[in-house]
Structure 1
Amino acid sequence: MIRIFRAPSFLAPVCGLLFVAMAAHASAKDPLPLEKLKLPKGFEIAVYSADVPNARELAIGTRGTVFAGSRRVGKVYALTDADQDGRAETVRVIVDGLQLPVGVAFHEGDLYVSAVSQILVYRNIEDHLDTPPKAEVVVSDLPGETHHGWKFIAFGPDGKLYVPIGAPCNVCDREGYAKLLRMNPDGSGREDVAYGVRNSVGFDWQPGTNALWFTENGRDLLGDDLPSDELNRVGRTGEHFGFPYCHQGDTLDPEFGEGKRCADYTAPALKLGPHVAALGMRFYDGKMFPAAYRGAAIIAQHGSWNRTQKSGYRVMTVRLDGNKVLGYEPLIEGFLENEESWGRPADVLVMPDGALLVSDDQAGAIYRVTYAAKRQ
């Protein structure tokens, strides 16, 4: 059964103020067509909020506040579900006017936000949702190119902030780009973690091993079926994953692959499919879903933009046994119908109760996925 909720949509303007609170009022928008979505038996999906324009990366605070970055609208949102009914009744715009603030990460009470060349921090954010503090600049000298310049960010189990530096192109070979780096929370101690990463917009650390896994978007303009997007695992610091010389672990680039060997680079743990635009990923560490999902990687696939027959537009489950991939199957399908999409998944987030949130930047919504075993 699919339950559909119409989330609040009312903007309370405050003249002269940068930050705007969105209060709970009846939505005038048409309800989202959740009846078109297909999930495995026992799973249900509902709208957590339909008032988050261009919702991208998600993070959660210690008091349950859900934070969402955006790309096109330059805003960061804070969502609260005070009555804990599985639906955010209040959505606040806590940051506005930033450049592609896709990335949000919560750490020791503070909210970190990526803005292309900058990483900003908002101290003690959950104490100040109605009157957000002035941003402090953590980093201001990251590359300023906007091509793959938006950044998914996250804190690792080592307490360091991990930041991708995407290639400023479809395919090129430029020093200082196409990598993952990490730094201390104050921006010091920067260290490159992985190279040959064209553009990662999602990563997480595997429960039990603390190994870093990440999604990677393959290059364009090699046809409909090449190359595949990737799910990768970092086995050692400084590992090289092939870009721009080798794609999907076995295909040399027609321009930059001359004289190279794919065997010299780390192959993906899993090919995710051509042009699916794999973005946010998290390991499922909750207890609500069936045991088969524990420790699985859940991946939001935003969907292709120039493939003849569109691909992606879904949320996928990758079942793992340590480093070994056991299965790859859909968790949510149905955002694409007759080559037209009404939604594009961008990130996933496991909630404290085990439910899964999914952001959708096309519909401007966040969904909540739950599981309830049916009694016989």
Structure 2
Amino acid sequence: MKQRATVPDLRGKTQTEALALLRRSQLKLGDVGEGSSTLPKGRVCEQIPAAGVKVPFNAPIDVRLSRGPSPSDDPGLLKNAKEGARYAPAQRGKSVIRVPRQVENPPTNFLKGGKGITLVAEGLENPRWLSMAPNGDIFVVESRLEVKKTKQPNRVIVLRDTNGDGKADQKSLYADNLYLPFGIAFHKGFLYVANTGSVVRWPYKPGDLTASQPAETVISDIPEIGMRQHWTRNLAFSPDGKWLYVTIGSKENAAIEESPRASIVRYTLDPSGKPIGKLAIFASGLRNPIGMAFHPRTKALWAVVSERDYLGDELVPDFLTEIKDGGFYGWPYYYLGPHHDPRLPERPDLKKRTLIPDVLFPAHSAPLGLVFDKGGNAYVALHGSQNRSRFTGYKIIKVPAGTKKPEDFVTGWLKNPNENAVNGRPAGLAWDRDGSLLIADDWAGRIWRVKL
């Protein structure tokens, strides 16, 4: 039997330290790239193969060095992958980091789709998520991690159309001094907002333009921050009024992390609608779940999930799926069922449990907003990725009810797939009272309305 070397654990080491450990194990350094991570800049954040794997002597070990905890943003999309169990993952390719550039003063007539598109508001600061108030006001969360803390808006604003022309002509500050807010929802006379490490609420009466009192913290046992966009905490109340669901992203791209990272959790609601008790894991193995919505007919919870990076242009597909109670979706060990991530050790027990998502999106699409119409058609905002050699995406896609085949619905943010200039990036989605779709464009600072 030929002797084999054991790959040492390089994570957290500098490149020099990693090289010394590899030489000591009679191995060599392979490809060196960059990766997003919360580790200090220049430290190994990922390695292929994983620590503990047996390999031939002198085998090359690929590593990625952290770009540091200050994250950068993403774009993209490619043609649709094969569905479900029939999907055959591509061979692992070389990862390419390409960052988009926001066009200065983009035009207002570039979007196509639906039966008409109008600009509701502009001049906002990173409008990420939004919700329609009972009286027709639009509540918008302005939040961003990529800029200096002193410039982060960290607030909720209210947009009001006072003359009925379809455009917001009044803007009010509802609440500020929040901590990376994201998810927002109205429930039983309260406005709820999810910070990165808590959920808060205020009493709300239709027509309120400012919070009537300081925020009440109703959830405080969720972890903060995460890699890149994984600080986002979205929330959704179940149709039966029994549960509040909260998304929690991973801290790293591909690493073993403690629960409740990479999961959707839920809390019991008391008769008044207030969350009580501790969090309960509803589903796990979800690298970065963001958009959540309940199907109008089945009442089942669905979510969009951004999968892992740095395995090449075609891996790993992001997805939309029904979230099963107790379901495990693979991260970080597996993806799309039994497909193993070479950066992690094998876990046969989890391999058997890994569920295959319902609808696949091109790898690195970074789906964010998700809503269903009354007919069960799903609409998803593809914010895009930076881990592709060719820019694609920047669009709203529609998944017709009863199918697994996404189709373009609103396009135009991406000017040219071979150039990094973009007119904006779609993020949050919400329904207007007339059945139109509202879109938050966080890069261009705009809110759009699309008639269906």
- Coarse TM-score class (shorter-chain normalised): 0.7 to 0.9
CA distance in 2, matches of 1:151, 1:327: 28
1:95 and 2:167 equivalent?
no
Cα RMSD (Å) of the superposition?
1.9
Q: Which amino acid aligns with 1:180?
A: I
Which residue, 233, 237, 245 being the options, matches 1:155? 237
Alignment of 1:189-208 (within 5 A): 189=277, 190-208=279-297
2:128 and 2:143 in contact (8 A); partners too: yes
1:259–1:109: structure 2 CA closer, same or farther, 3 Å change rule? Answer: closer
Matched, 1:166 2:254: no
Gaps of 5+ in 1: 1-29, 286-293, 372-376
Distance 2:407 2:345 in 1: 32
Task: Give the 3-state SS of the residue equivalent to 2:312 in structure 1.
Answer: coil
2:411 corresponding residue in structure 1: 333
CA contact 2:225–2:232 (8 Å) conserved in 1: no
Partner of 2:329: 241
**TM-score normalized by structure 1?**
0.82
Aligned: 1:37 with 2:92: no
Match of 1:347 in 2: 428
What residue number does 1:254 align with?
Answer: 342
Measure, in 1, the Cα distance between the counterparts of 2:327 and 2:127: 32
Give the AA of the match of 2:137: T
CA distance in 2, matches of 1:302, 1:118: 24
Q: Which runs of 5+ in 2 are unaligned?
A: 1-103, 145-152
Structure 2 residue aligned with 1:308, among 369, 389, 395?
389
State the distance in 2 between where 1:257 and 1:249 align: 16
For 2:393 and 2:318, how far apart are their aligned partners in 1?
10
Contact 1:57 1:70 in 2 (8 A): yes
User: Could you give the per-residue CA deviations for residues 155-192 of structure 1, whole angstroms, max 9, x where no partner exists?
Assistant: 12132221011111111121211110111243314322
Letter in 2 for 1:170: N
Amino acid at match of 2:134: T
**CA deviation after TM superposition for structure 1 residue 32, in Å:** 4.6
Q: Which residue of 1 aligns with 2:84?
A: none
Between the aligned partners of 1:348 and 1:211, the Cα distance in structure 2 is 19
Amino acid corresponding to residue 195 of structure 1 in structure 2 = S
Residue 350 to residue 81, structure 1, CA distance change in 2 (3 Å): same
Alpha-carbon distance change, 217 to 204 in structure 1, aligned in 2, over 3 angstroms: same
For 1:29-70, what per-residue CA distance to the aligned partner results, in whole angstroms no more than 9, with x for missing partners?
x97523222225xx2111111133211111122112211112
State the AA in 2 paired with 1:225: E
Determine if contact 1:55/1:359 at 8 Å carries over to the other structure.
yes
Moved over 6 A (4+): none
2:213 match: 133
Distance in 1 separating the partners of 2:234 and 2:356: 22
Task: From the superposition, tell whether residues 222 and 92 of structure 1 become closer, same or farther in structure 2 (CA, over 3 Å).
Answer: same
Structure 1's 225 and 115: CA in aligned 2 closer, same or farther, altered over 3 A?
same
AA paired with 1:178? A
Q: Match of 1:212?
A: 301
Closer/same/farther in 2, CA of residues 79 and 257 from structure 1, 3 Å limit:
farther
Q: Secondary structure at the match of 2:109?
A: helix
Larger CA Rg, structure 1 vs 2: 2
Deviation at 1:311, TM superposition (A): 2.7
Of residues 136, 142, 147 in structure 2, which corresponds to 1:70? 142
1:59 pairs, out of 131, 145, 151, with 131
SS at match of 1:204: strand
Alignment-derived partner of residue 27 in structure 1: none
Of residues 348, 360, 380, the one that matches 1:299 is 380
Q: 1:263 to 1:312 in 2, by over 3 A?
A: farther
Read off the aligned partner of 1:265 and give its amino acid letter: T
Cα distance in 2 for residues equivalent to 1:126 and 1:240: 40
| 1:79 alignment counterpart | 159
Amino acid at match of 2:257: R
Matched residue SS, 1:353 = coil
Matching residue within 351, 355, 359 for 1:266: 355
Percent identity of paired positions between Structure 1 and Structure 2: 35
Q: Secondary structure at the match of 2:283?
A: strand
Structure 2 counterpart of 1:175, one-letter code: E
**Offset, 1:342:** 1.6
TM-score normalised to structure 2 length: 0.69
Q: 1:17 maps to what in 2?
A: none
Aligned mates of 2:357, 2:108 — CA distance in 1: 33
